[in-house]
Amino acid sequence: MSEKTKIEIMDDGPLIVSDLKLLEDGEGNGLAIKKKIALCRCGASENKPFCDGSHKGVGFRSSLPPAGSSVPAKEGDVVIRSLKNGPYEVCGDIELCVEDDSALSGDDPYYICRCGASENKPFCDGSHKRVGFTDK
């Protein structure tokens, strides 16, 4: 039996994704992944969509939403897509957790900020357009 895919949101840091089967770039290409990966959400990584520790150098700050609600179970494809010059699109039965082991509610699909500018972290609010975020 395979493990359920989980996303852990690290306060002031990356997304830690476990047991993901498919990660796609902005062109729809599958990216090589390991059992556990760190995805950038500050927008400064030189190795997007992966975290390279740049969040420390740029002073990235996030405030986690209140704990207590849960992500409903979803059926279908389980994939995270790095949308071209935009957020991560999270599809399928992927549990979204914060450091205190609680979970957040979300739609299917839902969108997680990777530019670092959202006022609704960890979720995207469209700020990537305002700040001119690019994949490169």
Mean pLDDT for the stretch of residues 108-120: 91
Residue 107 confidence (pLDDT) above 50: yes
Residue 124 confidence (pLDDT) above 60: yes
- pLDDT above 90 covers a percentage of the chain that reads 59
**Residue spans per domain, the chain:** 1-136
What is the torsional sign of CA 40, 80, 21, 48?
A: negative
**Full-prediction pTM beyond 0.75?**
no
Residue 86 confidence (pLDDT) above 70: yes
Tell the CATH superfamily of the 1-136 domain.
CDGSH iron-sulfur domain, mitoNEET-type (3.40.5.90)
Mean pLDDT for the stretch of residues 45-55: 96
